[in-house]
Amino acid sequence: MKKSGKTLQEEYVSIVKAVEEHLRFAHEMGVSDMGVKKVPQPAAPRNLRTLEDIREWMGDCQRCNLHATRTQIVFGTGSPDPGILFVGEGPGEEEDLQGKPFVGRAGQLLTKMIEAMGLTREQVFIANVVKCRPPNNRNPEPEEIAACSPFLTAQIKALNPKVICTLGAFAARTLLKTEEKISKLRGRFHLYEGIKLMPTYHPAYLLRNPSEKKTSWGDLQEIMKELKLEPPPPSADPSRGKEGQLT
């Protein structure tokens, strides 16, 4: 018998395409129930009062495929009683290596953003939608979000921040359950479980589009007004402009 010569990856891709074609045909024929049962995620224990409780519940998490390629879980860092909770998409390479959120170039900019508000990283809390790095920094898959979202939900309840600031479209869409563009969501407060939520651009996007830093600064100023925060005095740091504004 002549060998096909296909690699394992090519065989996998062909199988996926065949399944997609089958599902598409079934949908066109009006079949909506394929007999596939969704595996429910385990309910969160009732005694999750602290971040330590949540981390213990998470354990050596293997609830989705991301555990196979991660270096370590990136749970989140900061104050257990923050005025602001910053939520990003997921860990990148540096975060995966260090086990801390936002420690790469985008994290350095986030630190400047926080300091421009007159705060430090130790006074806020920083977390992500998913706690393990997606391969090649791709967007998390729906099943990965479903597996990880109970942890973020529990974190928000335990932290009870006055304001949530989502960084980038992905985090905003996940918490607000919308497909609206970040350009339409940012600049105004939304509500998440009774907590005011301000979407703004992701620091990585701001590094690629420096002209939008002024726009994000406007979003942060709205948060500052809500929390009655005063900006620090003008700094000698050349990376900042008036009243701590990033330039």
Cα 182 from Cα 45, distance rounded (Å): 33
pLDDT of amino acid 88: 98
Strands 77-78, 125-128: pairing kind: antiparallel
Domain ranges within the chain, ordered by starting residue: 51-244
Give the pairing type, strands 195-200 and 190-192.
antiparallel
Coil, helix or strand at residue 68: helix
Residue 245 and residue 217 in contact, taking contact as beta carbons nearer than 8 Å? yes
Q: What integer pLDDT is reported at residue 235 of this predicted model?
A: 62
Look up the CATH number of domain 51-244: 3.40.470.10
Q: What is the 3-state secondary structure (H, E, C) of 193-228?
A: CCEEEEEECCHHHHHHCHHHHHHHHHHHHHHHHHHC
CB atoms within 10 A of CB 129: 23
Residues facing 70 on adjacent strands = none
Name residue, tokens 């007159």.
Answer: 118
Check residue 47 and give its pLDDT: 80
Q: Can you list the residues of the chain whose pLDDT is less than 50? A: 1-4, 12-13, 16, 34-39, 236-239
Q: Is 125 helix (H, G, I), strand (E, B) or coil?
A: strand
Task: Give the per-residue pLDDT at 45.
Answer: 75
Q: Which pLDDT belongs to residue 100?
A: 97
C-alpha 147/C-alpha 190 separation (Å) is: 25
Contact indicator for 125, 86 with CB cutoff of 8 Å: yes
Helical ranges in the chain per DSSP H: 8-28, 51-58, 93-98, 105-116, 142-159, 169-176, 182-185, 203-208, 213-227
The letter for the amino acid at 79 is S
pLDDT per residue over 120-143, tens digit each? 999 999 999 999 999 999 999 999
Specify the pLDDT at position 39.
42
d(CA 61, CA 64): 8
Backbone angles phi, psi at 35, to 5 degrees: 80, 15
